[in-house]
């Protein structure tokens, strides 16, 4: 699945040690630009954290998988990002407008032509 939005928050890096060794996880929040904006929390695991360096305010397209796990008769769902394509957030500045041909600018100060 894919979704596009703006990174509005990067949560603190989490790490620990489990039965498979050391792990690290980075969560971030994307806000969509739909008519009704949605906020979605995604997680990056392991080497993907360094591969997709994110910054708040960036626009990005996130490819992700949903995964649910059961623990003590409760189900927990996680949106795991596996690819992030950053979108350009640089706004172009319009060029300076030149006066149209034949435009006459009045002199300033006391140098009036009459």
For the chain, what is the mean pLDDT?
Answer: 84
Q: How far is CA 66 from the centre of its chain?
A: 20
pLDDT in tens, 31-73: 998 899 999 999 999 999 989 989 999 999 999 999 999 999 9
At 90, is the pLDDT very low, low, confident or very high (cuts 50, 70, 90)? very low
CATH number for 2-87 (one of 2.40.50.140, 3.40.50.1370, 2.60.40.1170, 3.40.50.2300): it is 2.40.50.140
pTM comes to 0.71
Query: Phi/psi at 50 (nearest 5 deg)?
Result: -75, -30
Interval 89-102 mean pLDDT: 53
> What distance in Å separates the CA atoms of residue 66 and residue 1, rounded to the nearest whole number?
9
Q: What is the pLDDT of residues 62-73, one digit of tens each?
A: 999 999 999 999
Domain boundaries, the chain: 2-87
Cβ–Cβ < 8 Å for 25, 18: no
């Amino acid at each position: 699945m894919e979704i596009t939005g703006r990174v509005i928050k990067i949560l603190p890096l989490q790490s620990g040690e489990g039965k498979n060794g050391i792990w690290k996880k980075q969560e971030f929040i994307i806000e969509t630009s739909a008519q009704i904006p949605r906020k979605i929390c995604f997680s990056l695991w392991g080497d993907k954290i360094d591969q997709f360096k994110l910054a708040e305010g960036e626009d990005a397209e996130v490819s992700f998988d949903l995964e649910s796990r059961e623990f003590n008769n409760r189900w927990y769902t996680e949106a795991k990002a596996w690819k992030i394509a950053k979108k350009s957030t640089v706004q172009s500045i319009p060029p300076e407008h030149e006066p149209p041909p034949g435009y006459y600018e009045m002199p300033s100060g006391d140098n009036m032509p009459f």
